[in-house]
Every structure is written in structure tokens, then in C-alpha cells.
Chains A and B, each alone.
Chain A
Amino acid sequence: MANHILTIKNLTKIYGDNVIFEGIDLTVDEGDTIVIIGPSGTGKSTLLRCINLLTKPNGGQIWLDDLEITAADVDEDNVRQHIGMVFQNFLLFNHLTALNNVKLGLVKVKKMDKAAAETKAFQELERVGLSDRAHHYPGQLSGGQQQRVAIARALAMDPRIMLFDEPTSALDPELIGEVLEVMRKLSLAGMTMVVVTHEMGFAREVADRIVFMEKGSIVEQGSPDDLFYRPKFPRTREFLWKITELYGKKEEEA
């Protein structure tokens, strides 16, 4: 049996009277790509934010490898550097070049010396096909390029797991492909990934497991083939095909 990199048990998040999600159980094994899908407002993004401790859950536990990261005495900053996060709206550091965006964490968090950090940052940009944009500022890059730099920035920290929060939702259709291609390669290279997305083409091709969430709980999870062709619940089938139709068109145009 593969190693669990991420284990989530009975996780609950409530804002005021509003239950975002409740009783979430999820495990992610080394090298797996998990795609989380579901209607908006079902707590997918909040779940990712809980995993890298940007939001505190109200109940339940999360383990990264053998470390319980929801424990009270955990060093949150230290945990976060082992979890890569890619955001819907890129969130590159606006005042730094692409290279320095990738390099900063290496120098300030990992305390690498500057020359080594620069070499590594450059390699990471090469990996996402942007070494020729190393000295451009975010404002000089397209959305797709910005998102690839954001992926490089997260990868540079050598994370145990990468979280993607709707990484292509803010992109023009013709820029989505280049970002998905980087993610596909990353998955093939064995990176452990949890991806929240509506890109069903990506989910079917790349996911080891698709998790369908609705109204704050996991309805069903399984291989792409199981969910698309042999779903246990009619609701799963309905949602999957509706989204495929909606977004499939966009993919063909791109």
C-alpha cells in the first residue's frame, strides 16, 4: 500500500451559522492526483485553505505524512512551506520579477544562499517553460504565464503536496491549455496533487481519483471511469455531464 501523504479525518468548517463543510474524510497517497469537483459554494476552496492552514477548521484533524498539522503546538509557517498552493488569481508578488518571485522563498524561508537559490529558481522557471521571461514583472506577463510562474514558485519549495485552487478559472480560454499542460506533466512526473477545477478533460485524463463534493460533504469518489460511467448517485452523473458540456466547448475552442 502506498504512503498516505495527506490524511483528513472528520474535518468541519463553520462560519457563524453557515456550515461550509462537515465530516470530510479524505486520504491522498504519494504520487496521486486527486481532482475535487462540485458546484460553487460547496467548500472546495475552503477545504484547500484548511489543508495548508490558511483557515482554521472548527473540528477534525489533518495529517501531513505522520505529522498532525492541526495540533495546537504545530509550527504553521514550517508546515506551509511543505505544502505548495496555487491560487485562482495567481497572487504573484507584484513588485518582484518572475525569477525573484520564485527565488524569494528559497532565500528567506529555506535560507539557501543567493547563488544557489537563483540557479534553482531559474530551473523551476525552465520547468514551466518560462526561462525567457525570468526578468519580467507580473504586470508584463499574460495570465497564463503568471499562473505558470506561480506554479514554479510553489514547486521551488520542494513541497510534499501541491494544492491547486481553480487554477484556470480566471484565465482567458486560449491561455488555459498552457497551464493544464504544465499540471499534466507535473502529475506524470509523480507529484502528489489535489486540484479543485471544472476542467473535466483534465480530470478524466489526469486524475487518479475524482472527488465529488456537494453542500459541504463528499457525495462520491472514485476513478474517472467509475464516476463518469458507473456513478452510484444520479446527481453525480448529472453534474459531471453538465460541467463537461459547459466546459468542453471552451476547451475545444482553445
Chain B
Amino acid sequence: MDLSRFIQYIASGTAYTLGVTIIALPSGLILGIIFAIIYVYGGKIAARIMNFYSTIMRGIPPIVLLFILYFIMSGSINLTPFWAGSISLGIISSAYQMEIIRGAILSVSGGQMIAALAIGMSRMQAIRYIILPQTLRLAIPPWSNEAAIVIKDSSLVYALGVPEILRRAQLISASTQQPFLAYTTAAFIYFVLVLITNTLLGRLEKRLRIPANP
């Protein structure tokens, strides 16, 4: 097998890697935002439940959770490993993203909510038009860290048999006896994906920065 076909074989897993990430990251974000709002504004009992959720999800290795969630899902609804794996990673990531968003909400001054209520907004309106736009801007730097983690953790679905980058590297390494080349190729692709993502998010952060005098 020549080198270009070797590399191509591994690189063709990128579509799965991206697919898993593109499902897991936004679904984790949406859940994370909702959970963070419930945590901060939902009262004491809701905060306790959210804190429990966060502690459990962040206290167990992602690969273990992935298996548990996968077997729950494949036992109840008939999902392909790709979908079950992607959704599971999204759920795992939601706990981390909830903490990122919660931290950002808390660093937006409490006065912003009071000022919004004072002009007659409801709490929901205040969260939507005043708190979240400021929160999400603040959350971009820590969120880009989480994005990198999810891209890398997408490799975990190899354990469910999804033919993404790592899975393909493993297969071709076994068949060609070239483990070093196989895994460095995989490493390089992951690295480039993370680099591109972080660069794009860095630009987004600059573009959305609120103008202020120095």
C-alpha cells in the first residue's frame, strides 16, 4: 500500500470525527446554557439538582460514561453507534459547558438584571436580551478550550466501532504493521482540526468584543 492511500484511508475518517463533533458540541452548548440558567436563576432546589448532575458527569471518565449512555440508548431506542456516541458525548460535554456558562453568567454584574427589570422586562426577557449576549461573549475563551476537548474526545467513539480517524488508524496499523505512521497521521489530523477551531473562535472573540476606551 503506498503512502498516499495509507494517509487517505485514515483521513477519510475525518468526516465522522467532524460529524460527531458537530453534533456533540452544539447539543452540549444548548443543554449547557439551559442547565446554567436553571442553576443560576431556578432557585435552591434546582441549583442542587444541577450541581449533582455536574458533579456526577465530571467525576466519571468520559469513556465509561460513553459506554453507559450508549448501552442505555441502544437498549431503549434503536440508534446507530454514530448517533448514540455523538449524543452521549454531547450530554457529557453539557456538564462542562454548563459550568463555563454559569461562571460567565456570574461574572456579568447582577446590576444588569436589576436594570433590565427596572425598565419593565420580565426575567426571561432580561436573560435573553441582556444577560446571555454578555455571557456568551465572556464564555468564548473557556469555551474554545472545551471545543478542543470535544474534538479530541470524539476519538472515544472508536470504541463503539464508528470508523472515525482513530478507528481507521488502528485498523490500518494492524494490517500494515506501521503503527507509528498510522498514529502520527491521526495525531496530525486532530491537531489541525483543533488549531483551525481555536483560530476561528479567536477571531469570533475579537469580532464580538464590545468597544470600549482603553
Contact = CB atoms under 8 A, between A and B. Distances in A.
A137 B212 contact: yes
A52 B119 CA distance: 10
Interface in A35-65: 52, 54
Nearest to B136: A95
Contact of B120 (A81, A89, A137): A81
Contact of A137 (B114, B137, B210): B210
Contact of B119 (A136, A139, A140, A157): A157
A18 interface: no
Contacts of A206: none
Interface in B104-130: 109, 111-112, 114-122, 125, 129-130
Contact of B134 (A82, A85, A94): A94
A105 B134 contact: no
A212 to B, nearest CB: 26
A43 B212 CA distance: 35
A80 interface: yes
Q: Which range holds the interface residue count of chain B?
A: 20 to 34
Nearest to A141: B213
Contact of B212 (A83, A84, A139): A139
A139 B211 contact: yes
B133 interface: yes
B111 A89 contact: yes
A54 to B, nearest CB: 6
Contacts of A73: none
Contacts of A84: 118
A200 B125 CA distance: 38
B96 to A, nearest CB: 25
B196 to A, nearest CB: 27
A154 B133 CA distance: 21
Nearest to B108: A94
Contacts of B111: 87, 89, 91
Interface in B172-214: 210-213
Given A137-B211, A140-B212, A95 B137 contact: yes
Contacts of A80: 117-120
Contacts of A95: 133-134, 137, 210
Contacts of B134: 94-95
B210 A54 contact: no
Interface string A104-142: 110011000000000000000000000000001111100
A77 B212 contact: no
Interface string A69-106: 00000000110111111010101111100000000110
Nearest to A53: B117
Given A54-B117, A93-B130, A108 B210 contact: no
Given A80-B120, A105-B120, A108-B125, A94 B115 contact: no
Nearest to B133: A95
A52 B121 CA distance: 13
Interface in A130-161: 136-140, 153-154, 157
Contacts of A89: 111
A157 B213 contact: no
B120 A78 contact: yes
B116 A93 contact: yes
A109 B119 contact: yes
A87 B111 CA distance: 9
B55 to A, nearest CB: 31
Interface string B72-104: 000000000000000000000000000000000
Contacts of A52: 118
Nearest to B120: A81
A151 B193 CA distance: 49
5 contacts: A82-B120, A87-B114, A87-B118, A94-B112, A105-B119
Interface of B: 109, 111-112, 114-122, 125, 129-130, 133-134, 137, 210-213
